[in-house]
Amino acid sequence: MIRNGADVRGRRLAESVPGVAMLRDYRRDDLRGDAVAGLVLTALLIPAGMGYAEVAGLPPVTGLYATVACLVAYAAFGPSRTLVLGPDSSLAPVIGAAIAPLALGDADRAVGLAGLLALLVGVVMIGGGLLDFGRLTDLVSRPIRVGYLNGITLVVVVGQLPKLLGFSVDGDGIGAQLRGLVDGIRADLVVGAAAAIGVTSLVAILVLRRVAPRIPWMLVVVVVGGLVVALAEPADVSVIGALPSGTPRPLLGGLELGDVLELLPAAVGIAIIAFADSSVLSRTLAMEDRVDVDKDQEIVAVGVANVACGVLGGFPVSASSSRTPVARESGSRTQVTGLVGALTVTLLLIVAPGLTADVPSAALAAVVIAAVARLADLPAVATLWSMSRTEGWLSIAASAGVVVFGVLEGIAIVVLLSLGTFVARAWRPHTAELVRVDDRKGYHDLARHRTGRRIPGLVLLRFDAPIFFANCSVFASLVLDAVADAPGPVQWVVISADPITDIDTTGAETLVLVDEALAELDIRLVFAGLKGPVKDRLVRYGMGDRFGRDRHFSTIGSAVSAHVRANDVDWVDWTDR
């Protein structure tokens, strides 16, 4: 019993802190890939963390603190084995806009406010996870996932191309990035040495990983690029530079309740952005790896990571759509990759802040482009298009939404489109008149089986959707038109009700109107296969007497037999011949 109790506690601990299970069951074979991926990732974590901190109006070192804190926290609580968290381009401007009016130019106060903002974001996300908001990711269908990744790939590649060629551009969004890229090339801003390093690194990764896939080429090109810069000292080549020194520490002193109230709206907005980014990317990776990720645990884990950032002098973070594919492409298998990255950044901050001084930005851009290119799946769009034009358009719209409007807005747009498609299908659902086909079991759509036989005196219909306010008129027209078009007198109308999963009050009212119209024609309306919960709903609507047990049959066959007996119909089924 003690052992069983310990096992139960162990399972509960593993469910709430997945990192425990990950380390407990860690395979030695995964260590090499995780370690190499962690080292490659470090080369990206440093410039990304420092750069996004500056965008948010904070000291660059706070970006590294946020990086270390979120990687460690997510490794402990995150359900995804390869998702990478960190400072994000979509969050940095929002963070800066939220804290600048309250900081009033005081750098220390700005850091404290950023930490408080991260704490609030974390609390909001943890609350969302506990309230089962993870179910919202069910709205992300396969076409949306494919389109999202294709859009992300294009956005990231365009953003990295200037760095690959040795210059930088101003402005957010792919439009500004493209204009900056073209203008930079026209203005002869391309740095020859940097472009040579970047393009050579990109070609080397793309070619050599096919020739010798077990060699960590991403790490190799970063190291070689650093050596080339250190030895040749080419002019005007942008490098990461030396790191600021220091260790993560809490800087939350001097904050007041008024600051909490001022920052709370921004925290909710940032939490929504982080939730959308992290959930969609996590679920997409899980589908690719054919594993199951607890959606609510994902939200909670990102929330905990933000709390850790707030406590340790950082700012809000989210999943990274550029660093995650780099980690995966470099051989990451588990969250040990994040731990290696966090440990390496910390050691560099303390022991060797100058080690990164000569790593060229162009080589890092090549690493990002090569990694994120693996996310794109254009053949999948073609396949979707051939299978369903609607879903093909959804995938294209998802890509366009991410590219044109940004990640969060793009996701919101395509989710609305997906919901709109669902509503449209329910609004105008497939309907059928069912007939009996000789030598085939069951009842079949007359439109597909023109030689099928109607049962005399019976109209048998199927309505493939819930009956609700938007489609109840379609249901009424289906029944009344079928009766009017019947080749002979009708005694019964049987609704094959298996697909009807719900009836709202408007739909129920329509049922009554249809029943009354049929009754005036001396026609009986009955249901075959109506589900228990839908029957219960009719009872709650006060219609239990009107649509009582005598109106319900378990199968179409039993309803047809009851009609034949009740109306003394001359009918011989093919099974009785």
User: 231-262, pLDDT tens digit by residue?
Assistant: 988 888 888 777 776 666 666 777 788 889 99
Distance, CA of 278 to CA of 321 (rounded, Å): 9
- The residue ranking higher by pLDDT, 393 or 304, is 304
Distance, CA of 421 to CA of 394 (rounded, Å): 9
In this structure, what token pair is assigned to residue 574? 């093919």
Query: Positive or negative, the Cα torsion across 132, 133, 137, 139?
Result: positive
Average pLDDT for 107-119: 91
Poorest-pLDDT segment among 22-36, 109-123, 411-425, 459-473: 411-425
| Residues above pLDDT 90, as percent of the chain | 43
At 123, the pLDDT band (50, 70, 90 cuts) reads: very high
In this structure, what token pair is assigned to residue 287? 């589908």
- The residue ranking higher by pLDDT, 88 or 538, is 538
- The residue ranking higher by pLDDT, 354 or 522, is 522
DSSP 139: G
> Nearest-5° angle of CA 97, CA 101, CA 104?
125
Average pLDDT for 183-187: 92
Query: Positive or negative, the Cα torsion across 160, 167, 245, 227?
Result: positive
In this structure, what token pair is assigned to residue 96? 């800066």
Distance, CA of 81 to CA of 60 (rounded, Å): 28
Q: Above 90 in pLDDT, residue 306? A: yes
- The residue ranking higher by pLDDT, 68 or 176, is 68
Task: Please provide residue 292's backbone torsions phi and psi, each rounded to the nearest 5 degrees.
Answer: -105, 130
Predicted pLDDT of residue 246: 64
Q: Is 34:336 a contact under the CB 8 Å cutoff?
A: yes
Strands 458-463 and 492-496: parallel
Distance, CA of 285 to CA of 274 (rounded, Å): 16
Q: Is 67:323 a contact under the CB 8 Å cutoff?
A: no
What is the rounded average pLDDT for all residues in the chain? Answer: 86
Distance, CA of 16 to CA of 300 (rounded, Å): 10
Average pLDDT for 163-188: 87
Condensed to tens digits (0 to 9), the pLDDT of residues 499-528 reads 999 999 999 999 999 999 999 999 999 999
Query: Positive or negative, the Cα torsion across 51, 52, 58, 60?
Result: negative
Give the predicted TM-score (pTM) of the model: 0.67
Poorest-pLDDT segment among 13-17, 63-67, 491-495: 13-17
Q: Is 359:81 a contact under the CB 8 Å cutoff?
A: no
Spatial CB neighbours of 281, under 8 Å, sequence gap ≥ 6: 83, 319, 321, 324
At how many degrees (to 10) do helices 142-164 and 257-289 cross? 110
Predicted pLDDT of residue 338: 94
Condensed to tens digits (0 to 9), the pLDDT of residues 193-234 reads 999 999 999 999 889 878 887 777 777 888 898 899 989 888
Of the candidates 336, 325, 329, the residue with the CA atom closest to the CA atom of residue 34? 336
Distance, CA of 357 to CA of 380 (rounded, Å): 42
Q: Above 50 in pLDDT, residue 2? A: no
Which helix (H) or strand (E) covers residue 461, if one does?
strand 458-463
| Residues above pLDDT 70, as percent of the chain | 94
Predicted pLDDT of residue 277: 75
Condensed to tens digits (0 to 9), the pLDDT of residues 258-280 reads 889 999 988 887 887 788 778 87
Q: Is 524:554 a contact under the CB 8 Å cutoff?
A: no
Spatial CB neighbours of 49, under 8 Å, sequence gap ≥ 6: 60, 63, 64, 66, 67, 86, 87, 345
At 14, the pLDDT band (50, 70, 90 cuts) reads: low
At 137, the pLDDT band (50, 70, 90 cuts) reads: low
- DSSP sequence for 207-219: HHHHH-TTS-HHH
Predicted pLDDT of residue 411: 64
In this structure, what token pair is assigned to residue 12? 């509960």
At 1, the pLDDT band (50, 70, 90 cuts) reads: very low
Say which residue the tokens 């974390």 belong to.
122
CA quadruple 16, 18, 21, 24: dihedral, nearest 10: -120
Distance, CA of 236 to CA of 191 (rounded, Å): 7
Q: Is 527:462 a contact under the CB 8 Å cutoff?
A: no
Which helix (H) or strand (E) covers residue 64, if one does?
helix 60-77
Average pLDDT for 71-89: 91
Predicted pLDDT of residue 423: 78
Q: How far is CA 329 from CA 298, 332, 333, in A?
A: 22, 7, 10
At 533, the pLDDT band (50, 70, 90 cuts) reads: very high
Alpha carbon 19 to its chain's center: 22
Q: Above 90 in pLDDT, residue 397? A: no
Query: Positive or negative, the Cα torsion across 110, 112, 115, 120?
Result: negative
Please report, as a single letter, which amino acid is at residue 7. Answer: D
